[in-house]
Each structure stands twice: as C-alpha cells, then as structure tokens.
Structure 1
Amino acid sequence: MYAIVDIETTGSHADSNGITEIAIVLHNGKEIEGKFETLINPGYKIPRFVAALTGIQDYMVANAPPFSEVADKIYNLLKGRIFIAHNVNFDYSFIRHHFQQVGYDYHARKLCTVRLSRTAFPGLRKYGLDALCEQLNIMNGGRHRAGGDAEATATLFSMILNAGGEKLVKEYLKKESREQILPPNLPKEHVQWLPYQPGVYYFHDEKGKVIYVGKAKNIKQRVVSHFTGFDTGSKRQNFLKHIHAVTYKETPTEFAAYLLESIEIKRLWPQFNHSQKKFEWQYGIYEYTDMRGYLRLTIEKKRKHLHPLVCFSLKAEGYRILWKLVKDFNLDAGLCCLDTTAPSPAEEPAAYNLKVQQAIDWLQEQKETFLIKEEHRDATNCVLVEKGHFYGMGLIYNNADDLTLEQLKELLTPYPENEVIRSMISSFVYKHPNKVHKPLL
C-alpha cells in the first residue's frame, strides 16, 4: 500500500516555509485506488519566483484551509502506507515538520522515485521528473502543480513496477538498506565502496567541483552521518541538493586526516566549509626600533606582510608572554607597551637592546624541531616540525630514528602551513608527548 505525494511550497526548507498545495495518489501496487488534492494557505507570502514557477498566487490560497484544518484527513490517507515522492526527503521533511507543528507524530517508510528510476532505467540523461516524463513519454497535465506531478510520479512508479521493480522496491525497503537517506543526486555506488578507514572525503557538485572537504576516523560512517537526521534548515537542505559525487583519500592515522583536511580546505576553498576559512591567529608580538634607537616589543593585530616573533588568537595570551619576557629578561614595561606611565629607561639603547635580543633569541629557541611518530602497520606516519613550523608528513618504512633531518625531509611530502595546523600540532603534542621525538640533526 503506497501513498504517492507531491507538494508545492513557498521555499526549499520546511522550518520557515509553508505548503501551498498537496496531492496524494493512493496506489495498491497494481493500480491507483484514489486521489486527494487541495490548495493550502501556507501562512507565508508566496515569493514572486515561486508563483511564476507554480502558477499559485497569494489570492488563490487566501481562502484555502491552513494545514492544521486538513492535517487529520492527510494523516489518515498516509497512515499505514509507504510514502513515495520524487526526491522523497524534500516532501517528507515538509509533511513531517508540519504534522509536528499541529501535534501529530508521523513516521513512515519511504521510497524515492529518483533513486528507483536510476536503478530501473539506467543510462538516462537526467532523472528529474520533467526529464523522465520527456524520456519515458509520461503525460503530465500540470507541471509544477501538486496534482499533475503526483499523477506523473504515480505513472512513473507503475512503470518501475512493470520493469521488474517489485523486487527492487523490496530491496529498498529493507531496514538494512540505507540508500533512502542519500541525497537524490548522489549515486549509491559512491557511498557503497567507501572504506572504513581514516582519511579525507570530498563532496562534488554537478560539474565536479569540490564543495566540501571533511575529515574522518572512519570515512564511510562519517560520510553517511551527513545524510541522517531530520534537520529541515535551509543550510543543510541546500548543501545536500548540491552533492553529486563523493571521492576520498585514505590517511594512515586520524591525526594525519585532520592535517590533510586543513591543507585541502585552504587549497580548494570549498563553498560549504566555513569554520577553517575564518580561523586565523589574530595577534602577534612584533619588534621595531624607535626614534631614540631602543629595540621595542609590542602586541599588534597580525599584519599581512610582516612576520611576528610569535602569534596567538587571544590578546591576553600575548600579554602573558610579553610580561614573562619583561620579568625573565629585565625588560622595560614601558618600552614593551605594557605600562604607559613608566618613566624613560635609565639604560642606553645599546645595553638595553642586548637584553631585548636575548629575549627574542629565547622566543626563537622555543620553536623546536621535532618529529611526531605514529605507528601504522609496517610503517610509521611522521609529521615533521622544523623550527616551530610544520614542514610536511608521510609514511616512512625505515627506522625514522636512524634518519637525519635532511633525510627525513627528502622522504616526507612538504605542505603549506596554516594557523589551524599549528594549533592542531600544539594540541597533539600536549596530549601525546610520548609520540614526539627529536630527529638527528
């Protein structure tokens, strides 16, 4: 027993849009049993471009019942039936959300005719409803209207069943079949063969452009997790509809996946990655010589073409470091821009500058050269930090302890550094000091 549903809406996400029209075609697996169709007052103004597409104007729904008035009838029509739609997750998300708004707890098994069509009729040019109607000679008496699209989808479903689709439907309805959760444009094969290994995965749009990069301890589980749940927000719905392909790169360890993700985000600048695009060290400690000849240290916002002695995200962290230098090297707080009321220093610039240089040298010494080693099967994944800067990483099959710094650099793949990577390495070193080793210089 099936209910084939099509809706028209004021927008693309359920949490801030309304339904303007709904049509339900009841199907018993052999033939159509009944139909229901009605306009609905969405409670929202219909955007001009939506009205142009569907032909449904504000005046047409002004006296139509709100969803709450027809919810009981719709619920009884859908109850106990398998919910079918073309791009089922869209229609289902709206229906379920609006049921919840009026107190109904609605859950149903689902079938997507986009995904069924891909399997039943492989090799077609496109699988949108209009394209399928054209390619399979399906009549649609009302394009972009709920009644016409629901009847066209019902005809399409009958053709799927006639093409041996009963077995296909049973396979799709199995609890262990997870294909129903996938975005409509993503072939199941792209997910089916994903590995259960650490790595980085890439979502691509229709033209093959990378629109999202993610890291994973388990690539397959992490990719699938993007498609579960009932988040009806516009950002997630817009994200899912743009996914047409998934590719991946395995990494030896989870930490290597974290680093590679950051590298790839900075390289590709994907549309739907947001957090790492904004992450930057905000401040730095800079040195300069004033008009009197004194070498001075100051905290400033990061400058594009100047290199700070040390950088940090919080200004308070910079003050902590600078006060430590004042105390440990007997620097002048006024000349470090920490105390504007301090009197002029008694020392001559040459003598004072020696102390400042000692402080600078100490800061540079903190930028160590070290190797992070993680065992991976018969090899070692190595991450090299040279003088406080990330150099690169890779698998080494020899004993890394016997290699000099220059030999390591020849074996590892160099990568560009960024603030996120520096932060991740710092955190990893703090949590796993036993994995940090000094290379032979």
Structure 2
Amino acid sequence: MYAILDIETTGGKYNEEGITEIAIYKFDGHTVVDQFISLVNPERPIQAFVVNLTGINNQMLRSAPKFYEVAKRIIEITEGCIIVAHNAQFDYRILSLEFDRLGYPYDRKTLCTVALSQELLPGHKSYSLGKLVRALGIPITDRHRASGDAMATVKLFKMLLAKDTEKKIIQASVRAFPKKNMDKKLKDIIEAVPSVCGVYYMHNINGTVIYIGKSKNIKKRLTQHFTSDNRKSKKIQDDVVAVTYEETGSELIALLKENEEIKRNKPIFNRALRRTKYKIQLSHYKDEDGYINFKTEKADGRKKGITTYSSIASAKAHLEKITDSYTLCQNKTGLTNAKGSCFGHSIKTCEGACINKEAPELYNKRAQNFINTYSYENKSMLVIDKGRDIDERSVVLIEDGIFQGIGFYNLNFQLNNIDILKSIITKMDNNRDAQHIIQSYLRTKKVQKLIPLSNIPNS
C-alpha cells in the first residue's frame, strides 16, 4: 500500500517552513482507496514568491486547521504505507518536521518518483513533475497545488509500476529510511546537515580534514557515504567524527571551491582529486589554405587551448556536436582525415571547405564564432548564478582570460563598481582544473547571465 502525497509550504529558511496544504492519496497499486486533502494554517507567514507560485495566501489560511488538528488523520492514512512523492526527501522532511514540533516520532519508508523515473524512463530532458508528465502525456490540473500535483504523481507512479516488469528496481527502491543502516554517530552527523548545494568537509578526531566533497544535496550525499560498504567508505565511516559544510547555492561555485580546497588541504581520502584530471584540450590553427582547423592534444599550461576535456571520447563527442551546430567541415575539425571531400560534404552538411569550394573567410567566420563562444581567452567577464538564498547571487570573476575567484552578493547590492566587486571576491588559483570546470559548465549547463566587465564602471 502506498500513500502518494504532495505538500505545499510557506517557503523560508531550512527547517523553519510550515505546511500550507497537503494532499494524500492512498493507493493500492491499482486504484485510490482513500484520500485526504486540506489547507493547513502554518502559523507563520508565507513567502511572497510562494504566494505567486501556488496562489495560497495568508488570508486563505486564517480559518484552516492547524497541523496538530490534522496530524491524527495523516498518521492513520499513512499507517502501513510507503510514502511516495516527487522529490520524496523534501516532502518527508517537511512532514517529519511538523511531527517533530509536536514531539511525535513519525517514521515511514519512502519512495521517490524522481529517482524511479530516471531509472525506468531514461532520456528525458527534465524530471520536474510538470515537464515530465507533459512529456508522458499525463494530464495535470491545479499545478503547484497539493491535490493536482499529488494526483499527477499517482498517475506517474502507476506508469512506473507498469514499466518495472521485473519488479527489481521497485523492490530495491523500497527500503527503510537510511538512518536505520547507520550507527548513532553517523545518524547524528547526517541530522545536522541540510539538503542544500555546497561543499562539505569530513573531520577526524583531531579536527583534520580527511575528505572534501561537493553535492547538489549534501544530506543525500552524506547518506550515500555512510551507507556504502566499499573499502574507502568503510574507512571514512570509522574515522569521521564531524562534518562541516559551506552552502553555495550554485553547483559551479561548489565545483570551484571543491577543486581549490582539495588542492590546498590535500585530504587523505581525496588522493585522486589532488591531481589535474582534465588532460585533453582543443586548440586551433590555420592550414596552408587559410582555413581554421581544430585538433585535440594533451593539455599543456604553456599552450593556449579553446576548452578542455576529461577524455578523448568527450572531446570527440563535443566536436561532433559543434561540427553540426556551426556547419563546419569534418576534416577541419579533426573528426576525419580523408583526402578530398569529407563525408559531411556528400550529405550537404559541409559547405566544401575540405575541397576549397567555400572561401576561407566565410568558413572561418563560423569557426571563429565557435571559438568566441567556448573560449574565454582574453575575456573579462562576470559569471552570475544562483546564490545561497533567494535574495543573493553568486559571481565568478574572469579578467583577461584569467580566473580570479568567486564571491556572493545581495540583490540589493548593484554591481556598479569594479573595486567593490573585487573586494567581495575570494581569490582562487587559475589552474587547469578550474579553467576546465568553468569552460565545461558554461558549455553544458545554464547560468543566470554573463556580464562583460567593461559594463562595470571603475570607482
């Protein structure tokens, strides 16, 4: 039996949120056999952005029951059930938080339809509930209201059960809450860290940092460390006595901090990451006919490259993509070395640079557009991304193609003075790994915006 639920909250600081609406559908694997839907007075104000998202406001909740008035019904409808939710870790945490405030030990097994969808329905661009169900043709009404989202999750879960023909993934996913697999020391450590994006530091009894990691969800990553039974994880579990962390908001900032601080602190369990691991770079040159050519080679700090890769395979995959995107010649991008025309010319995806049919000036214009897009050589710019809360942004500073460091600023603080900006930047080493992290992130993921440094005036 499953209790498929969705919860809307007030928003706000971690572990200070309150429930504003809850919907639970009791599902036997075939049909809904019971349901509970209710607004809830959270006894705290709702964040403005949440009001805009859900349409639930403080006025609507004044006469709604408080959580303690619906707690018994929630216990009853979920008794003997596995909690199922889209991002179950969030909904379960909020529900457990409300019961903790009442002093009631609420403990249920959980199942996350995000994780199950990634296993059973691979290949989707997004696994957010709205985009996923639309892609699957599942109707959804009252988006961002508990009843609508919970019912969409019921329909999604029913599809997932049908997809799991061997039932192995479902059985493996249905497990006890991870705390049950750990001793008290490790449980206490996990309880003390939040489910946020950032960098975490494991300390031994002497306070020495023995491991540094980054994650988009620190609590989840630590749970994986502390429930794994491989040799390295077992040794970490024995030695760790405390975990501290720094929230970053942005995954890019977390990657750069992790890279910098592993190289600086050299933790005993980070041996592999102390060394530079991005060993392939893409460079360019002009051939005797005046065409820009690209080649992959061993990364070398003395040679300037457009971007770097962790392997030849990833470099080739990217070259195939940019060859198509910029209508380039396969011979000129190093994908083939055929004499005469390339295969792309035979299928009309190459304009004929391989046989001198297209003028170098025209071809090089497209090739240079690629270089300008993917290289920050000689560029001075700010990379702006998410901050640690809704009123903050993170910033990466690059000057003349050199990575300078990272920082955070409040939205009330305008980026209108280069000297003030530099004062909030934490300096970092412009090593090959840092360069790769930035280049790879900018070509594969979205940041909020890029601002040329020329747009920021001096004092």
Q: TM-score, normalised by structure 1?
A: 0.45
